[in-house]
Amino acid sequence: MTTHATPTLLWLRQDLRLSDHAALHAAAAEGPVLPVFILDDSDPWAPGGAARWWLHHSLKALGTALAGLGAPLLLLRGEARRVIPDLAAALGARAVHASRLYEPWARQRDADIAAALTARGIALQLHSGATLAEPHRLRTGQGQPYSVYTPFSRAMLALGEPPPPLPAPTALTGTKPPQEGLALEALRLLPRPPVPDWAARFAEYWTPGEATAQARLGEFAARHAATYDRDRDFPGQDLTSRLSPHLHWGEISPRSIWHAVAPAGLTGGRLTYLKEILWREFAYHVLWHSPQLPERPLRAEYEQFPWQPDEALLRAWQQGRTGYPIVDAGMRQLWQHGWMHNRVRMIVGSLLVKHMLQPWQNGAAWFWDTLVDADLAANAMNWQWVSGCGIDASPYFRIFNPILQGEKFDPEGRYVRHFVPELRNVPDGWLHRPWQAPDLVLRGAGVVLGRDYPHPIVDHDAGRARALAALSALKAVE
C-alpha cells in the first residue's frame, strides 16, 4: 500500500532482517517507509568476494520479504555520502533511520551524512541492534576500556538479560521512490565471466537470509547448545552454530540469540556459547577504542617485527598446499565453503605468522576476501590475537604445533580426509604427519609426496626456532 503522508527513509546496511529491528520499528511508526540499500564501493572496507555472494542472496531474501509486507526494497549503487542526502531530500523525508555501525570508517561516514542531512532539515536517527551492548558502554573500575576479555565478559554478564527482541512487523506502508532502483543482478555481486564461478559450491552449504538464520538458531539451541563446550573444537563434527555470516549481515540479532539460548539455563555448553557471542562484543569494544585495529598492531613494538613477506609462500598457504594436512584442509574448506571452523582458523593463522613469518595483515586480507562472515572487528582482533600483537592476545612465543593440533582435534581424520582427499587412505597414525610415514605405508595409501601432496613448506622445529629468533630480535630492538 502507498500513501501521500510524509515518508521516512530506512537505510539498511548490515541489518538485513525484519525481527528485532529498532530502526525499522521507528521508521514504520512515523508513517510510510522507503527501505533502501546502497552498494558503496568507495568504502575503504567494501565487502570482499565471498561476502558479496552472501549479500546478493541476503538482499534477495529481504527484498522478497519487504515487498510482501508492502514496502519494496530500493537498490542503488554509489557513494552513500551523496546518495542518502539526495534521496532523502527528493523523497521529502523528515528522517532517515538506520542501525548503528561501529567500523571507524562507517562512523565517520555516518557523521558526515548526518551533517549533510541536518543542513537540509532532515534528521539521521541511528538505532542499536548489532550488539548486545553499545561497544563503548562498559569501562573498567578505573574508567578505562577493557583490554582483557575475561573481566569484560564478566561485566557483560553482570548487565543481565538483554531486553526481549522486537517482533517483526506484519505489514508496512510503502511509498513511491523518487528514482528508479537497480535490479539485484545490476549490483553485480556474484562472480561473472571471465572470472570462474569460484562460489559455485557455496549454495550447498549456505542459504543466506533471516528465515534460515532463525531456523539454524532454533535447531542449534534445541539440539547442540547444551553440549557446545564438549563439541566445539572438533572441525570434523561441525557442531558449532554457523551463525557468523548471519550475524555479520544482521540477519539475526545477538539479542535473539541470547533469548533462544539462555532461558534453558546459563550453564555448561549454553554459557560457553554465549561467551563466544561475548568475544564478538569484545571485538567491537576493542575496535571502538582502537580504530587502528584492522591495520596496525595494538602492541606498538610489533611494528618492528622482522616479517619476511614472500608471495610464493603466501600463495601456497592460500591454496592449501603447505604440506600440513590440518592447515591445508582448513584453507580448502575456506575456499569451498567461504567459511572455516574456529579451531582451524587459529591453526592456519599460527602457521602463517609464526612458521612462515608472513605479516598477519596478509592473512587477514585473504580472510576478508574469502570468508562469507568477514567482519572487520572479529577478523582484525582474531588475527592480532593469533599473532600475539593484540591486547589480551595469545603470546607470540606460544606456537601451535600443526601436527599435534591435527591429532588432537581431528583424531579420526574425518576433516582432513574430506578436504584433502589425496590423503584419504593414509592411516590415522600418519595422517597428520605423512612425511614421517614409512615408504610402505605411503605406497599402500597411493601417495607420493612431492607429487600427490607437498612436503611440509617449512619444518616444524626449524619454523618454530626461526619464529622464536624473530621474536628475540624484536625484544632486542625494544
Ligand X SMILES: Cc1cc2nc3c(=O)[nH]c(=O)nc-3n(C[C@H](O)[C@H](O)[C@H](O)COP(=O)(O)OP(=O)(O)OC[C@H]3O[C@@H](n4cnc5c(N)ncnc54)[C@H](O)[C@@H]3O)c2cc1C
Which residues are designated catalytic? 276, 279, 307, 342, 360, 383
Given the complex with ligand X, which of 76 and 213 has the nearer CB atom? Answer: 213
Sign of the dihedral through C-alpha 211, 216, 217, 219: positive
- Among 56, 81, 137, 242, the residue binding ligand X under the rule CB under 6 A is 242
Given the complex with ligand X, which of 307 and 435 has the nearer CB atom? Answer: 307
Region of 55-63, 134-142, 241-249, 469-477 interacting with ligand X (CB under 6 A) = 241-249
59 close to 184: Cβ distance less than 8 angstroms: yes
Alpha-carbon gap, residue 127 to 375, rounded angstroms: 20
CB of 444 to ligand X, least distance (A): 35
CB of 276 to ligand X, least distance (A): 4
- Among 52, 109, 248, 332, the residue binding ligand X under the rule CB under 6 A is 248
3-class DSSP assignment, residue 90: helix
- The CA-atom distances, in angstroms, between 235 and each of 66, 308, 343, 375, 465 are 37, 30, 7, 21, 28
CB of 204 to ligand X, least distance (A): 17
Crossing angle (nearest 10°) for helices 49-69 and 210-223: 100
3-class DSSP assignment, residue 12: strand
Given the complex with ligand X, which of 99 and 241 has the nearer CB atom? Answer: 241
- Among 247, 260, 293, 471, the residue binding ligand X under the rule CB under 6 A is 247
Determine the size of the site formed for ligand X (CB under 6 A).
27
- Among 244, 256, 318, 362, the residue binding ligand X under the rule CB under 6 A is 244
- Among 6, 125, 207, 342, the residue binding ligand X under the rule CB under 6 A is 342
Region of 26-34, 80-88, 344-352, 423-431 interacting with ligand X (CB under 6 A) = 344-352
- The CA-atom distances, in angstroms, between 128 and each of 134, 153, 175, 265 are 7, 19, 25, 26
Given the complex with ligand X, which of 366 and 453 has the nearer CB atom? Answer: 366
222 close to 121: Cβ distance less than 8 angstroms: no
CB of 216 to ligand X, least distance (A): 9
Alpha-carbon gap, residue 367 to 248, rounded angstroms: 14
Task: Let me know how long the chain is.
Answer: 478
Crossing angle (nearest 10°) for helices 342-350 and 402-409: 170
- Helix, strand, coil shares of the chain as percentages rounded to 5? 50, 5, 40
Given the complex with ligand X, which of 122 and 347 has the nearer CB atom? Answer: 347
In degrees rounded to 5, what are phi and psi of residue 123?
-95, 140
CB of 179 to ligand X, least distance (A): 34
- Footprint on residues 375-404 left by ligand X (CB under 6 A): 375, 378-379, 382-383, 386
Closest CA to 13 of 44, 46, 50: 46
Given the complex with ligand X, which of 120 and 398 has the nearer CB atom? Answer: 398
CB of 176 to ligand X, least distance (A): 38
Alpha-carbon gap, residue 82 to 90, rounded angstroms: 12
**175: amino acid identity, one letter:** T
**281: amino acid identity, one letter:** E
CB of 422 to ligand X, least distance (A): 26
276 binds ligand X (CB under 6 A): yes
- Among 280, 285, 332, 355, the residue binding ligand X under the rule CB under 6 A is 280
CB of 273 to ligand X, least distance (A): 6
45 binds ligand X (CB under 6 A): no
- Among 149, 373, 410, 471, the residue binding ligand X under the rule CB under 6 A is 373
243 binds ligand X (CB under 6 A): yes
Given the complex with ligand X, which of 242 and 299 has the nearer CB atom? Answer: 242
CB of 392 to ligand X, least distance (A): 11
- Footprint on residues 313-332 left by ligand X (CB under 6 A): none
101 close to 130: Cβ distance less than 8 angstroms: yes
Give the up-direction half-sphere exposure of residue 386: CA atoms within 13 A in the CB hemisphere.
27
- The mark string for 221-240 relative to ligand X (x by CB under 6 A, - otherwise) is -----------x-------x
Region of 73-81, 273-281, 402-410, 413-421 interacting with ligand X (CB under 6 A) = 273-281
- Measured at the alpha carbon of residue 449, what is the angle toward residues 445 and 452, in degrees to the nearest 5? 75
- Among 153, 214, 241, 401, the residue binding ligand X under the rule CB under 6 A is 241
- Sequence-separated (6 or more) residues with CB below 8 Å from residue 403: 324, 432, 433, 460
Binding site for ligand X (CB under 6 A): 232, 240-244, 247-248, 276-277, 279-280, 283, 342, 345-346, 349, 367, 371, 373-375, 378-379, 382-383, 386
